[in-house]
Structure 1
Amino acid sequence: MNILFCIAFAGFAYVNLNDKDSWLWVTIYMVAAIACGFAAFGTYFPMIYLIAIAFYMAFAVVLFFSKEGVLDWITKYKQESIVQSMQATKPYIEKTREFFGLLIISAALVINYIVAT
């Protein structure tokens, strides 16, 4: 499973290279990709997982409650499709995608933390 996560997260990092905030998202995805890559070969870093999970979840909360964030997507925009186009031109779609990306990364790292401890 970690091999799949490693490849997926590295791919997500790659597609974020052209974003204006690529420095942030490439780093976020590559930390997860590297952690999952090590875990795939039996090397675990529980403290790194906890630090990353704390950061990712805090950032997810910010994206959820921010202006034009996930809460607005749910209430104001009636959960408009977030997969309509890869080029997100609406801030609430971009933030919602980022929010779910952070949840997926966090879930993978939680699984690795549980296995490691």
Structure 2
Amino acid sequence: MKIFNVVFAVLFVLFAALQWNDPDPYIWMPIYLYAAIFCALAATGKYYKGWYLFGIVACLGYAVYLFFEKDGVLSWMRDHQAENIAGAMKASTPWIEDTREFFGLFIIIIVLLANYVHISQKKAKKMRKKMMKIG
């Protein structure tokens, strides 16, 4: 998990830096930096289960919003035949921007969820060992 978290901490910092010229960097830079910070902490062995859960729920809520928004992911799939979202780095249409943002949130959710599950399993294993010593 250490290498996983180091890689994603670096990637999320890079993603945050790429948001500088985005129309809404004040939203996306903190989101990516949040994920980067908790990946960096996990890489050093510091896990904060509640903060992972908070990040997962917040990103999931925003992802659902972006999915159903007027020019969101559903519109991209249904009305725009899932056109290429990676063709140009400058998003010229709102459905491309919202779809890219949706997938960014999806990546964050997966990474935070992986850490949440990892720490939950680690704590459960520790608890089982403790119970075996008692019993």
Q: TM-score, normalised by structure 1?
A: 0.98
CA distance in 1, matches of 2:69, 2:9: 29
Render the CA deviation track for 1:63-110: whole Å, top value 9, x for unaligned. Answer: 000011100000000000000001001100000000000000000000
Q: Unaligned stretches of 5+ in structure 1?
A: none
Structure 1 position 115 matched with structure 2 position 124: no
Deviation at 1:20, TM superposition (A): 2.7
Aligned residues: 117
Quote the offset at 1:18 in angstroms: 1.8
Q: Give the structure with the higher percent helix.
A: 2
C-alpha deviation, 1:115, in angstroms: 1.0
SS of corresponding position for 1:43: coil
Structure 1 position 100 matched with structure 2 position 75: no
Structure 2 counterpart SS, 1:88: coil
Task: Give the structure-2-normalised TM-score.
Answer: 0.85
Moved over 4 A (4+): none
The Cα offsets for residues 29-87 of structure 1, whole Å up to 9 and x where unpaired, read as: 00000000011111101000001110000000000000111000000000000000010
Percent identity over paired residues: 44
Pick the structure with greater CA Rg: 2
1:53 aligns with 2:56: yes
Measured in 2, the distance between the counterparts of 1:48 and 1:16 equals 23
Report the CA distance between 1:27 and its aligned residue: 0.3
Runs of 5+ unmatched residues, structure 2? 121-135
Q: 2:66 pairs with 57, 63, 68, which one? A: 63
Aligned-pair RMSD on alpha carbons? 0.6
Whichever residue aligns with residue 68 of structure 1, its letter is D
Q: Distance in 2 between matches of 1:43 and 1:17?
A: 29
